[in-house]
C-alpha cells in the first residue's frame, strides 16, 4: 500500500566515486604546496580543517595560532611543524616574518574575523576567512580594503561551492533539469543545547542561528537561483526566557525575491534539526537532503514524487574542505580571484543586515535601492 517515495538509482557515474576533482578548479601545479596558518584551534579548525590537508594537492599546514600554548604545541608536534610555526594571539603579527606561511585561515568566532583578517593582510598574508565573513557590513568593507591595500587575496569559507552535490545541483538547475526554477527552499538548523556556547554570546557571534546555519540557507538561495535578491522580508521567533536565547535569536524565516520573479523561502533555527535545499521548477524539482553537511549529502531529481537519487558525475569526489583549501592556493599561485571572494561575503552580510532589519521593523526591505 505504501511505496518508497524515492527510488534509489545509482548512475554509472557512481562507479567513478573517489575520482579526484581538483581539475574542476583549474588548478595550476606550483612547485611547492602553499603553507596555511590555522588561526583558532577550536573544533572546526582542529577537527575539521587540519585533517583535510592530507587530501590537498596544493596546500599544507604550516603554522597554528592559538591562545592555548599546550594545545598549540601538541598540534604542531602531531603535524611535524617547527617551533617557528606556533603563534599566540599576542605574537600573531610576527607571522609576517615567516616565509613558510602564505595563507592565514581565520577559524575564530565571528566577531574576531575582521580583526584577524586585517592583521593577516597587514602581515602580507593571503586570507581564507570562515563564514559569516564578519558581524557587520562595515567590517566586511574594512576587510576587503585591507586585503586590497596589501594586494592579498581574500576568500570566504563557503565550502558548499566545492561540494559535489551542490555543484551538480547548480549545474542541473542552470541546464533546465527542473524547468524554469520558480522557488527555492532552504532550511538549516540544529538543536543548540549548550547555553555556554560562544555562538550564543552576541559579542562573539554577532547573532544567532542566522549567523550560523542561516548563512547556508542564504547562500544556497543565491547560488541555486544564480541571481541577486532585490527584496527581503523576515520574521523572527525567539523564546527570550530560554537561557540559550537571552542574547541571540533562535528562529528566523525569510523570503527573498529575485529579478526573474523566482522566490526563495529560507529558514534558520537553533531548536530543531533541518538541513535541506529544494529547487522547484515548472518541470520538476531538485532536492538535497541533507544538503550541506560535511559529508553524507544526498540529492534527488525528478517530478511529482517519482524522484531518483542522483550522484554527481565522478561521485562525491575530493572533499569540499580540501577543495576550498586548494582553490585559494591555486588562486594565489595563478593570480586569479577566488570564486567566493570577500565581495561575496559582503553581499551576504548586506542581506543579513536587511534580514535583521526587516524582522525588527516588520516590513519588506528592498535591496535594489528602490523605495
Which residue stretch of 5-13, 36-44, 85-93, 334-342 sits at the interface with a copy of itself (rule: CB under 8 A)? 5-13
Contact 53, 70 (CB under 8 A): no
Question: Per rule CB under 8 A, is residue 12 in the interface with a copy of itself?
Answer: no
Question: Per rule CB under 8 A, is residue 97 in the interface with a copy of itself?
Answer: no
- Binding residues for a copy of itself restricted to 302-331, rule: CB under 8 A: 303-305, 309, 311, 315-316
Contact 181, 225 (CB under 8 A): yes
* HEC sequence for 236-285: EECCCCCHHHCCCCCEEEEEEECCCCCEEEEEEECCCCEEEEEEEECCEE
Nearest to 325, CA basis, from 340, 311, 335, 315: 340
Question: Per rule CB under 8 A, is residue 21 in the interface with a copy of itself?
Answer: no
Nearest to 210, CA basis, from 242, 157, 250: 250
Beta carbon of residue 368, minimum distance to a copy of itself (angstroms, whole number): 14
Which residue stretch of 39-47, 144-152, 233-241, 324-332 sits at the interface with a copy of itself (rule: CB under 8 A)? 233-241
Burial of 82: CB neighbours in 10 Å, binned 0-12, 13-18, 19+: exposed
Q: Which of 212, 257, 326, 348 binds a copy of itself (CB under 8 A)?
A: 257
Active site residue 33: no
Q: Is 284 left (phi over 0), alpha (psi -120 to 50) or beta?
A: left
Tell me the site size for a copy of itself, rule CB under 8 A: 56
Question: Per rule CB under 8 A, is residue 72 in the interface with a copy of itself?
Answer: no
Question: Per rule CB under 8 A, is residue 84 in the interface with a copy of itself?
Answer: no
Nearest to 48, CA basis, from 324, 311, 341: 324
The residues binding a copy of itself (CB under 8 A) are 1-6, 8, 10, 14, 17, 180, 182-183, 185, 187, 189, 191, 231, 233, 235, 237-239, 250-251, 253, 255, 257, 261-263, 265, 267, 269, 271-274, 280-282, 284-285, 289-290, 298, 303-305, 309, 311, 315-316, 362-364
Amino acid at each position: 500500500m505504501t511505496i518508497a517515495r524515492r527510488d534509489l538509482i545509482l548512475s554509472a557515474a557512481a562507479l567513478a566515486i573517489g575520482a579526484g576533482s581538483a581539475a574542476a578548479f583549474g588548478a595550476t601545479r606550483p612547485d611547492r604546496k602553499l603553507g596555511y596558518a590555522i588561526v583558532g584551534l577550536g573544533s572546526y579548525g582542529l577537527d575539521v580543517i587540519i585533517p583535510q590537508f592530507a587530501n590537498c594537492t596544493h596546500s599544507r599546514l604550516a603554522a597554528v595560532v592559538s591562545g592555548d600554548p599546550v594545545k598549540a604545541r601538541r598540534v604542531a608536534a602531531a603535524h611535524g611543524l617547527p617551533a617557528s610555526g606556533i603563534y599566540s594571539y599576542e605574537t600573531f603579527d610576527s607571522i609576517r616574518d615567516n616565509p613558510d606561511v602564505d595563507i592565514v585561515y581565520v577559524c575564530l568566532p565571528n566577531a574576531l574575523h575582521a580583526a584577524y583578517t586585517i592583521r593577516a593582510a597587514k602581515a602580507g598574508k593571503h586570507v581564507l576567512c570562515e563564514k559569516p565573513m564578519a558581524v557587520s557590513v562595515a567590517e566586511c568593507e574594512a576587510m576587503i580594503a585591507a586585503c586590497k591595500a596589501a594586494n592579498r587575496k581574500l576568500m570566504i569559507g563557503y565550502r558548499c561551492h566545492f561540494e559535489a552535490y551542490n555543484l551538480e545541483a547548480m549545474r542541473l538547475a542552470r541546464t533546465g533539469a527542473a524547468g524554469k526554477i520558480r522557488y527555492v527552499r532552504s532550511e538549516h538548523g540544529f538543536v543548540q543545547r549548550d547555553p555556554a556556547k560562544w555562538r550564543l554570546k552576541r559579542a562573539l557571534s554577532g547573532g544567532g542561528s542566522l549567523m550560523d546555519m542561516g548563512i547556508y540557507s542564504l547562500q544556497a538561495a543565491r547560488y541555486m537561483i544564480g541571481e541577486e535578491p532585490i527584496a527581503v522580508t523576515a520574521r523572527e521567533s525567539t523564546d527570550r526566557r530560554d537561557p540559550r536565547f537571552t542574547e541571540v535569536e533562535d528562529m528566523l524565516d525569510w523570503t527573498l525575491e529575485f529579478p526573474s520573479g523566482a522566490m526563495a523561502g529560507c529558514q534558520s533555527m537553533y531548536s530543531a534539526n533541518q538541513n535541506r535545499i529544494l529547487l522547484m521548477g515548472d518541470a520538476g524539482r531538485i532536492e538535497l537532503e541533507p544538503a550541506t553537511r560535511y559529508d553524507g549529502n544526498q540529492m534527488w531529481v525528478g517530478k511529482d514524487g517519482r524522484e531518483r537519487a542522483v550522484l554527481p558525475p565522478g561521485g562525491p569526489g575530493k572533499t569540499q574542505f580540501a577543495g576550498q583549501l586548494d582553490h585559494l592556493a591555486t588562486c594565489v599561485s595563478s593570480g586569479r580571484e577566488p570564486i567566493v571572494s570577500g565581495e561575496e561575503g559582503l553581499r551576504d552580510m548586506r542581506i543579513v543586515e536587511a534580514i535583521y532589519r526587516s524582522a525588527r521593523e516588520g516590513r519588506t526591505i528592498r535591496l535594489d535601492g528602490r523605495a
